[in-house]
Amino acid sequence: MSGATRAVLSRELTRMLRRRSQIVHPLMFFLIVVSLFPIAIGPDPVTLARIGPAMVWVAVLLSSTLTMDGIFRDDFDDGSLEQLVLSPAPLPMLVLAKAVAHWLLSAAPLIAMSAPLALMVGLDTRTLVALSLTLLLGTPVLSLVGAVGSALTVGLRSGALLLALIILPLYIPLLIFGTSATHNAALGLPIEAELYFLGGLAVLAATLAPLAAAAALRIRLG
């Protein structure tokens, strides 16, 4: 990792840690969404255990979307985004650093919180492990695809709403494979195929998303 990439990663982590609301708000939203499902559906443990993985996945998708528009918004507002684009460092690597910072402080806490919440709704150990693995493989794709959407909508009025409309349909494959893996785990079936698909999506996103986001930024600032 180049010095410029490390500097961007360190700057993003420091800035997000100073604005702790960007970390706390998604966690609170995640907790509220997961807590409302048992109230709406009822306390039946069999039903909760069956829908628990899907419930957690949907809550993670929605919670992570709350902070997507902020990946490049602050840089656009203070003018530093132009400096990133004009920097001699490869712009895709700088974009990747910002996506990694977003994952570390947005998605990683959601994964940590999902385990006790999943136990609360009655998931067994095998299903909980499968859920954690799918989230570990899938949430990086959320941040990478979100970086592309944020680059496309940065500086636009109502950009957050437009961003959600762009990226949420792209998250459907993650939701399908993630919930399928946990459902198979609950039935005692193998989950390797779904994990391979999620891993492949993560590699594809890590390869293409920084390039697409960099191109979108150049177009937006051009």
More confident residue, 158 or 87: 87
User: Structural domain tally of the chain?
Assistant: 1
Amino acid at site 157: R
Confidence label for 1 from pLDDT (cuts 50, 70 and 90)? low
CA atoms within 13 A on the CB side of 1: 13
More confident residue, 3 or 146: 146
- R_g of the chain, CA atoms, integer Å: 18
Q: What residue numbers bound the domain in which 191 lies?
A: 3-221
More confident residue, 210 or 8: 210
Instruction: For residue range 101-134, list pLDDT tens digits in order.
Output: 999 988 889 898 888 888 777 788 888 899 999 9
Mean pLDDT of the chain, nearest integer:
88
DSSP character string of the chain: --HHHHHHHHHHHHHHHHSTHHHHHHHHHHHHHHHHHHHHH-S-HHHHHHHHHHHHHHHHHHHHHTTTTHHHHHHHHHTHHHHHHHSSS-HHHHHHHHHHHHIIIIIHHHHHHHHHHHHHTT--HHHHHHHHHHHHHHHHHHHHHHHHHHHHHTT-TTHHHHHHHHHGGGGHHHHHHHHHHHHHHHTT---HHHHHHHHHHHHHHHHHHHHHHHHHHHHHH-
Instruction: For residue range 49-76, list pLDDT tens digits in order.
Output: 888 888 889 999 989 888 888 888 888 8
Residue 216, token pair as written in the block: 């979108």
Specify the pLDDT at position 106: 87
Instruction: For residue range 153-176, list pLDDT tens digits in order.
Output: 888 877 778 888 889 899 999 999
- Mean pLDDT computed over 178-207: 93
- Mean pLDDT computed over 200-222: 91
Confidence label for 206 from pLDDT (cuts 50, 70 and 90)? very high
- Mean pLDDT computed over 44-50: 81
- Mean pLDDT computed over 11-35: 85
Specify the pLDDT at position 16: 79
More confident residue, 179 or 1: 179
190 in the Ramachandran plot: left (φ > 0), alpha (ψ -120 to 50) or beta?
Answer: beta
